Structure 1
Amino acid sequence: MKYLFQFGRILAFCLAGELLHTLLPLPIPASVYGLALLLAALVTGLVRLDQVREAALFLTGIFPLLFVPAAAGVMDLLPEISAMLLPILLAVGPVTVLVMAVAGRVTQALARKGGNRDAE
Protein backbone atom coordinates (compact mmCIF):
# COMPACT_ATOMS: atom_id res chain seq x y z
CA MET A 1 0.00 0.00 0.00
CA LYS A 2 2.94 2.30 0.72
CA TYR A 3 4.08 1.98 -2.90
CA LEU A 4 0.67 3.06 -4.16
CA PHE A 5 0.69 6.23 -2.07
CA GLN A 6 4.25 7.04 -3.11
CA PHE A 7 3.45 6.40 -6.76
CA GLY A 8 0.33 8.54 -6.37
CA ARG A 9 2.44 11.45 -5.12
CA ILE A 10 4.77 11.15 -8.09
CA LEU A 11 1.79 10.87 -10.42
CA ALA A 12 0.28 14.02 -8.91
CA PHE A 13 3.40 15.98 -9.88
CA CYS A 14 3.20 14.50 -13.39
CA LEU A 15 -0.40 15.71 -13.60
CA ALA A 16 0.62 19.16 -12.37
CA GLY A 17 3.30 19.20 -15.07
CA GLU A 18 0.68 18.34 -17.70
CA LEU A 19 -1.51 21.19 -16.45
CA LEU A 20 1.38 23.67 -16.56
CA HIS A 21 2.26 22.51 -20.07
CA THR A 22 -1.31 23.18 -21.14
CA LEU A 23 -1.50 26.60 -19.46
CA LEU A 24 1.93 28.03 -20.26
CA PRO A 25 2.86 28.80 -23.88
CA LEU A 26 6.47 27.63 -23.46
CA PRO A 27 8.17 24.86 -25.49
CA ILE A 28 8.94 22.80 -22.37
CA PRO A 29 7.74 19.19 -22.11
CA ALA A 30 5.19 18.39 -19.42
CA SER A 31 7.52 15.81 -17.88
CA VAL A 32 10.16 18.50 -17.29
CA TYR A 33 7.56 20.67 -15.53
CA GLY A 34 6.58 17.72 -13.35
CA LEU A 35 10.17 16.91 -12.44
CA ALA A 36 10.91 20.55 -11.64
CA LEU A 37 7.84 20.75 -9.42
CA LEU A 38 8.79 17.54 -7.60
CA LEU A 39 12.35 18.81 -7.14
CA ALA A 40 11.04 22.11 -5.75
CA ALA A 41 8.74 20.23 -3.38
CA LEU A 42 11.62 18.06 -2.17
CA VAL A 43 13.97 21.02 -1.70
CA THR A 44 11.40 23.10 0.18
CA GLY A 45 10.34 20.19 2.36
CA LEU A 46 6.78 20.10 1.05
CA VAL A 47 7.44 16.46 0.18
CA ARG A 48 9.94 14.41 2.18
CA LEU A 49 12.24 12.00 0.39
CA ASP A 50 10.91 9.02 2.33
CA GLN A 51 7.44 9.81 0.93
CA VAL A 52 8.57 8.94 -2.62
CA ARG A 53 11.85 7.03 -2.26
CA GLU A 54 10.79 3.39 -2.73
CA ALA A 55 8.48 4.08 -5.68
CA ALA A 56 11.13 6.27 -7.34
CA LEU A 57 13.78 3.55 -6.91
CA PHE A 58 11.40 1.01 -8.43
CA LEU A 59 10.65 3.27 -11.39
CA THR A 60 14.32 3.98 -12.05
CA GLY A 61 15.03 0.25 -11.73
CA ILE A 62 12.63 -0.63 -14.54
CA PHE A 63 13.55 2.43 -16.60
CA PRO A 64 15.57 0.52 -19.25
CA LEU A 65 12.54 -1.67 -19.88
CA LEU A 66 10.54 1.40 -20.86
CA PHE A 67 12.86 2.01 -23.82
CA VAL A 68 12.18 -1.38 -25.46
CA PRO A 69 9.15 -0.17 -27.49
CA ALA A 70 11.09 2.85 -28.74
CA ALA A 71 14.00 0.64 -29.81
CA ALA A 72 11.60 -1.69 -31.62
CA GLY A 73 10.12 1.32 -33.43
CA VAL A 74 13.57 2.39 -34.56
CA MET A 75 14.16 -1.08 -36.00
CA ASP A 76 11.10 -0.57 -38.23
CA LEU A 77 12.74 2.57 -39.65
CA LEU A 78 16.05 0.88 -40.44
CA PRO A 79 15.89 1.43 -44.24
CA GLU A 80 15.32 5.18 -43.76
CA ILE A 81 17.99 5.40 -41.09
CA SER A 82 20.58 3.53 -43.16
CA ALA A 83 20.23 6.14 -45.90
CA MET A 84 21.28 8.83 -43.38
CA LEU A 85 23.78 6.73 -41.43
CA LEU A 86 26.85 8.92 -41.96
CA PRO A 87 25.22 12.20 -40.83
CA ILE A 88 23.68 10.42 -37.84
CA LEU A 89 27.05 8.99 -36.76
CA LEU A 90 28.76 12.35 -37.26
CA ALA A 91 26.16 13.98 -35.00
CA VAL A 92 25.82 11.28 -32.34
CA GLY A 93 29.52 10.47 -31.87
CA PRO A 94 30.86 13.88 -30.80
CA VAL A 95 27.74 14.67 -28.76
CA THR A 96 28.11 11.40 -26.85
CA VAL A 97 31.74 12.18 -26.03
CA LEU A 98 30.80 15.73 -24.99
CA VAL A 99 28.00 14.52 -22.69
CA MET A 100 30.31 11.95 -21.09
CA ALA A 101 33.01 14.56 -20.50
CA VAL A 102 30.63 17.10 -19.00
CA ALA A 103 28.94 14.48 -16.80
CA GLY A 104 32.34 13.30 -15.58
CA ARG A 105 33.49 16.84 -14.75
CA VAL A 106 30.25 17.64 -12.92
CA THR A 107 30.47 14.39 -10.95
CA GLN A 108 34.08 15.12 -9.99
CA ALA A 109 33.17 18.65 -8.89
CA LEU A 110 30.24 17.41 -6.80
CA ALA A 111 32.38 14.67 -5.25
CA ARG A 112 35.04 17.22 -4.28
CA LYS A 113 32.40 19.53 -2.84
CA GLY A 114 30.81 16.70 -0.87
CA GLY A 115 34.21 15.57 0.42
CA ASN A 116 35.02 19.08 1.67
CA ARG A 117 31.68 19.33 3.43
CA ASP A 118 32.31 16.07 5.32
CA ALA A 119 35.65 17.38 6.56
CA GLU A 120 34.06 20.41 8.23
Structure 2
Amino acid sequence: MLQDDESDDEDAMQDGQQIDILRYQDTLGEMQSGLHAAVQGGSEEIVWLLLLLASKLDYSQFPQEVFEAAKRFGVEREDQSGKEDIRTLRDAQGRTAEALAAELGGVWAGWPGTGRLGV
Protein backbone atom coordinates (compact mmCIF):
# COMPACT_ATOMS: atom_id res chain seq x y z
CA MET A 1 0.00 0.00 0.00
CA LEU A 2 1.28 3.48 -0.85
CA GLN A 3 1.53 6.06 1.88
CA ASP A 4 1.92 9.79 1.84
CA ASP A 5 5.57 10.89 2.06
CA GLU A 6 4.57 13.92 4.10
CA SER A 7 4.23 11.81 7.25
CA ASP A 8 8.00 11.18 7.21
CA ASP A 9 8.68 14.89 6.82
CA GLU A 10 6.31 15.72 9.65
CA ASP A 11 7.94 13.11 11.90
CA ALA A 12 11.39 14.53 11.19
CA MET A 13 10.23 18.05 11.99
CA GLN A 14 8.56 16.89 15.21
CA ASP A 15 11.82 15.23 16.23
CA GLY A 16 13.58 18.58 15.76
CA GLN A 17 15.51 17.46 12.70
CA GLN A 18 15.74 19.99 9.91
CA ILE A 19 17.47 19.50 6.61
CA ASP A 20 19.06 22.57 5.07
CA ILE A 21 18.67 21.68 1.41
CA LEU A 22 20.84 24.60 0.27
CA ARG A 23 23.79 23.26 2.24
CA TYR A 24 23.14 19.56 1.65
CA GLN A 25 26.20 17.47 0.75
CA ASP A 26 25.67 14.36 -1.36
CA THR A 27 27.09 11.36 0.49
CA LEU A 28 27.06 9.34 -2.75
CA GLY A 29 28.53 12.17 -4.83
CA GLU A 30 31.85 12.67 -3.03
CA MET A 31 30.22 15.02 -0.49
CA GLN A 32 29.69 17.71 -3.10
CA SER A 33 27.41 20.57 -2.16
CA GLY A 34 25.08 22.18 -4.66
CA LEU A 35 27.71 24.88 -5.10
CA HIS A 36 30.34 22.27 -5.96
CA ALA A 37 27.95 20.63 -8.44
CA ALA A 38 27.11 23.96 -10.08
CA VAL A 39 30.82 24.80 -10.41
CA GLN A 40 31.53 21.32 -11.80
CA GLY A 41 28.72 21.79 -14.33
CA GLY A 42 29.85 25.28 -15.35
CA SER A 43 26.51 26.84 -14.38
CA GLU A 44 27.22 30.45 -13.42
CA GLU A 45 23.51 31.23 -13.00
CA ILE A 46 23.05 28.50 -10.40
CA VAL A 47 26.26 29.50 -8.62
CA TRP A 48 25.04 33.08 -8.31
CA LEU A 49 21.63 31.94 -7.05
CA LEU A 50 23.20 29.64 -4.43
CA LEU A 51 25.53 32.44 -3.33
CA LEU A 52 22.56 34.76 -2.94
CA LEU A 53 20.54 32.25 -0.93
CA ALA A 54 23.18 30.47 1.17
CA SER A 55 26.20 32.72 1.64
CA LYS A 56 27.10 35.94 3.37
CA LEU A 57 28.64 37.40 0.21
CA ASP A 58 28.05 41.15 0.21
CA TYR A 59 25.21 42.29 -2.03
CA SER A 60 27.58 44.66 -3.83
CA GLN A 61 29.38 41.63 -5.32
CA PHE A 62 26.31 40.44 -7.22
CA PRO A 63 25.44 41.45 -10.77
CA GLN A 64 22.06 43.18 -11.06
CA GLU A 65 20.80 40.27 -13.19
CA VAL A 66 20.98 38.00 -10.14
CA PHE A 67 18.52 40.16 -8.21
CA GLU A 68 16.24 40.38 -11.23
CA ALA A 69 16.24 36.58 -11.62
CA ALA A 70 15.62 36.09 -7.89
CA LYS A 71 12.68 38.48 -8.07
CA ARG A 72 11.23 36.59 -11.06
CA PHE A 73 11.53 33.32 -9.12
CA GLY A 74 10.12 34.90 -5.97
CA VAL A 75 13.15 34.12 -3.80
CA GLU A 76 15.27 36.29 -1.55
CA ARG A 77 18.09 35.89 0.92
CA GLU A 78 17.05 35.00 4.44
CA ASP A 79 19.01 36.07 7.49
CA GLN A 80 22.23 34.04 7.40
CA SER A 81 23.06 34.50 11.09
CA GLY A 82 24.08 31.20 12.64
CA LYS A 83 24.11 29.41 9.29
CA GLU A 84 27.17 27.95 7.64
CA ASP A 85 28.24 29.89 4.56
CA ILE A 86 27.96 27.55 1.56
CA ARG A 87 31.40 28.73 0.41
CA THR A 88 33.03 27.00 3.40
CA LEU A 89 31.74 23.50 2.57
CA ARG A 90 34.34 20.96 1.48
CA ASP A 91 33.91 17.87 -0.67
CA ALA A 92 35.36 14.42 0.11
CA GLN A 93 38.70 15.56 -1.30
CA GLY A 94 38.78 18.56 1.04
CA ARG A 95 38.13 21.09 -1.72
CA THR A 96 35.93 24.14 -1.43
CA ALA A 97 33.95 25.18 -4.49
CA GLU A 98 36.59 27.87 -5.02
CA ALA A 99 39.38 25.26 -5.11
CA LEU A 100 37.35 23.21 -7.58
CA ALA A 101 36.81 26.29 -9.76
CA ALA A 102 40.56 26.95 -9.73
CA GLU A 103 41.20 23.38 -10.90
CA LEU A 104 38.60 23.58 -13.66
CA GLY A 105 39.39 27.01 -15.06
CA GLY A 106 37.28 27.83 -18.12
CA VAL A 107 34.24 29.90 -17.14
CA TRP A 108 35.69 30.13 -13.62
CA ALA A 109 39.03 31.65 -14.71
CA GLY A 110 38.40 35.02 -13.05
CA TRP A 111 36.60 33.75 -9.96
CA PRO A 112 39.20 32.26 -7.56
CA GLY A 113 40.66 34.82 -5.18
CA THR A 114 37.80 37.31 -5.59
CA GLY A 115 35.93 36.21 -2.47
CA ARG A 116 32.91 35.15 -4.50
CA LEU A 117 33.50 31.43 -4.01
CA GLY A 118 35.72 31.61 -0.94
CA VAL A 119 35.58 33.18 2.48
TM-score range, shorter chain: under 0.3
Structure with greater helix percent:
1
The structure whose Rg is larger is: 1
Q: Greater relative contact order (Cα 8 A, min sep 6): structure 1 or 2?
A: 2
